[in-house]
Amino acid sequence: MSNFIIGTCGHIDHGKTALIKALNGFEGDTTKEEKERGITIDLSFSNIVKDEKNISFIDVPGHEKLVKNMIAGAFSFDCVLIVVSAIEGIKPQTIEHLEILNLLGVKNAVLVLSKKDLLSESDLAKKLLETQEFISKYDFDLKFGMGVSIYDESSIENLKSRLFSLNASTKIEENFFRYYIDRVFSIKGAGTVVTGTVLGKPIKVNERVFISELQKECKIKKLHIHGKDVEEADISNRTAINLNGIDAKDIKRGFLLSRKGYLRGFKSIDISFKTLNDKLLHHNREYSVYIGSRKIDAKVLLFDSQDSLEEGFASIKSEENIFSIYNEKLIIREGNFTVAGGVVLNPVNDPMKKSQKLNLLKVLEKKEISKAYEVLLDAHKKGLGLISSVQRFALSHAEALSNARKLENCFVDEKELIIYPISTKEIIYNSIKDIYTKNQYSLLSNASIKLRLKWASEGFIELVLNELVNEKFLVKDGNLFKNADIKEDFKTSLEHIMLKRLESEGVAPTAPYNIYDDLDLDRKMGDNILKSLCAKKQVLRLQHNLFIHAQSLSKIVFDMKSIIKRDGYINISNFKDMHSLSRKYLIAYLDYLDNFSEIKKQDNKRVLNTI
pLDDT tens for 134-178 read 999 999 999 999 999 999 999 999 999 999 998 877 777 888 999
Rounded to whole angstroms, the Cα distance separating 376 from 384 reads 7
- 538, 547 contact by CB (below 8 A): no
pLDDT given for residue 443 in this prediction: 85
Q: Give the list of residues 6+ apart from residue 424 with CB closer than 8 angstroms, or none.
A: 381, 382, 383, 411, 460
pLDDT given for residue 522 in this prediction: 84
CA distances from 396 to 369, 389, 400 (A): 13, 7, 6
Do residue 79 and residue 149 come from a single domain?
A: yes
Q: Please determine, for residue 62, whether its predicted confidence score (pLDDT) is greater than 60.
A: no
pLDDT given for residue 66 in this prediction: 53
CA distances from 562 to 102, 144, 585 (A): 90, 103, 18
Q: Please determine, for residue 431, whether its predicted confidence score (pLDDT) is greater than 60.
A: yes
Find the mean pLDDT for residues 464-476: 95
Count of Cβ atoms closer than 10 Å to residue 92 Cβ: 10
The whole model's pTM is what?
0.78
- 208, 163 contact by CB (below 8 A): no
Find the mean pLDDT for residues 200-220: 95
Find the mean pLDDT for residues 200-215: 95
What total of structural domains would you count in the chain?
A: 5
Where would I find the H helices in 104-244? 121-135, 153-164
Question: What residues make up the domain containing 498?
Answer: 493-608
In a domain? residue 423: yes
Question: Where residue 52 falls among pLDDT bands split at 50, 70, 90?
Answer: confident
Q: 175-207, pLDDT tens digit by residue? A: 899 999 988 999 888 899 999 999 999 999 999
- Candidates 474, 492, 476, 493; CA nearest to 484 is 474
Where would I find the H helices in 45-151? 67-74, 92-103, 121-135
In a domain? residue 359: no
Looking at the chain, the whole-number percentage of residues with pLDDT higher than 70 is 96
Of the listed ranges 117-121, 140-144, 212-216, 519-523, the one predicted with least confidence: 519-523
Rounded to whole angstroms, the Cα distance separating 404 from 406 reads 5
Do residue 443 and residue 517 come from a single domain?
A: no
Ramachandran angles phi, psi of 490, nearest 5°: -60, -45
Picking from 242, 258, 274, the residue at the C-terminal end of a domain is: 258
Most confident of 39-48, 211-220, 572-581: 211-220
We report the CATH number of the domain holding residue 86 as 3.40.50.300
SS3 content of the chain, % helix, strand, coil (to 5): 35, 30, 35
In a domain? residue 567: yes
Beta bridge partners of 547: 541
Do residue 428 and residue 563 come from a single domain?
A: no
Q: What is the DSSP letter of 521?
A: B
- 533, 497 contact by CB (below 8 A): no
Beta bridge partners of 192: 186, 243
Picking from 461, 487, 513, the residue at the C-terminal end of a domain is: 487
Where would I find the H helices in 25-81? 32-37, 67-74
Q: Is 122 helix (H, G, I), strand (E, B) or coil?
A: helix
CA distances from 591 to 71, 538, 543, 601 (A): 70, 20, 10, 9
Burial of 151 (0-12, 13-18, 19+ CB in 10 A): exposed
Do residue 533 and residue 603 come from a single domain?
A: yes
pLDDT given for residue 9 in this prediction: 87
Q: Is 446 helix (H, G, I), strand (E, B) or coil?
A: helix
In a domain? residue 93: yes
Do residue 310 and residue 458 come from a single domain?
A: no
Do residue 481 and residue 580 come from a single domain?
A: no
pLDDT given for residue 377 in this prediction: 92
In a domain? residue 362: no
Picking from 229, 258, 287, the residue at the C-terminal end of a domain is: 258
Find the mean pLDDT for residues 35-47: 56
Do residue 29 and residue 102 come from a single domain?
A: yes
Do residue 520 and residue 597 come from a single domain?
A: yes
Beta bridge partners of 10: none
- 601, 594 contact by CB (below 8 A): yes
Please report how many Cα atoms fall inside a 13 Å half-sphere around the Cα of residue 227, on the Cβ side: 8
What's the mean pLDDT when you consider all of the chain?
Answer: 89
Rounded to whole angstroms, the Cα distance separating 539 from 529 reads 10
Do residue 502 and residue 604 come from a single domain?
A: yes
Do residue 327 and residue 410 come from a single domain?
A: no
Rounded to whole angstroms, the Cα distance separating 49 from 88 reads 32
